[in-house]
Chain A
Amino acid sequence: AQSVTQLDSHVSVSEGTPVLLRCNYSSSYSPSLFWYVQHPNKGLQLLLKYTSAATLVKGINGFEAEFKKSETSFHLTKPSAHMSDAAEYFCVVSDRILTGGGNKLTFGTGTQLKVEL
């Protein structure tokens, strides 16, 4: 069965310093992996996704993630944090087929990113 573990429930960084949000996954197949961001009282927005092409994936707002099969990891990084990055981030794996076709998304429990001045 597929699963996702986000290793930190809360991460705090200073503005201008690097961001690292850690994600490990378990999958029986070749997974697709996503990072979504959720700002307060907002829906989830796709940051980036890995679909078995390049292992280093670039997303919106300067975020990127590297797929490492040997480590079963898909960590999210950003070189320099901005105040507007404060939000909750979800790592998501997709590899199981639902009844009728289509992908099943399994969500991690989320990492709350705090950015301080």
Chain B
Amino acid sequence: DAEITQSPRHKITETGRQVTLACHQTWNHNNMFWYRQDLGHGLRLIHYSYGVHDTNKGEVSDGYSVSRSNTEDLPLTLESAASSQTSVYFCASSEYRGSTDTQYFGPGTRLTVL
């Protein structure tokens, strides 16, 4: 069965360190997304990609970057981790770009920045 996986599932790091969160999907979807989930905010969009070598900023992109070198993977990098980036991170993918399209989510990565 097609799926979307994230690794690691839990990560503890220190302020100032670079951290990369992995996202891998076997749906063969062109569209991939990164969200963060915080209490009282629901999920907020960080970055997204509509295909290889395409990346776009979401509403909370400061301090994060992504790159898309193939269809299956969209790693999220925190250039210099800050305590404000402690959160649960979700990756998602979708097939189309229409307003009715469904996004499929991974299991999440819980990141703690000390």
Contact = CB atoms under 8 A, between A and B. Distances in A.
Interface of A: 4, 31-32, 34, 36, 41-46, 49, 51-52, 90, 94-95, 97-110
Given A41-B107, A43-B106, A109 B98 contact: no
Interface stretch (B11-19, B36-44, B77-85): B36-44
Contacts of A31: 99
B60 to A, nearest CB: 12
Contacts of A97: 99
B74 to A, nearest CB: 14
Interface residues of B, number: 27
B42 A109 contact: yes
A44 B108 CA distance: 9
Nearest to A107: B42
Nearest to A97: B99
Contact of B42 (A46, A98, A110): A110
The 7 closest A-B pairs by CB, nearest first: A107-B42, A102-B97, A51-B100, A43-B105, A44-B105, A103-B99, A101-B97
B38 to A, nearest CB: 10
Q: Is the interface of B mostly helix, strand, loop or mixed?
A: strand
A42 B100 contact: no
Contacts of A90: 42-43
Nearest to B5: A43
Contacts of A52: 100
B34 interface: no
Contacts of A36: 105
Interface in B30-74: 31, 40-45, 48, 50, 54, 56
A100 B40 contact: no
Given A90-B42, A107-B42, A101 B99 contact: no
Contact of A100 (B42, B56, B94, B104): B56
A102 B107 contact: no
A51 B102 CA distance: 11
A55 B50 CA distance: 30
A43 B102 CA distance: 14
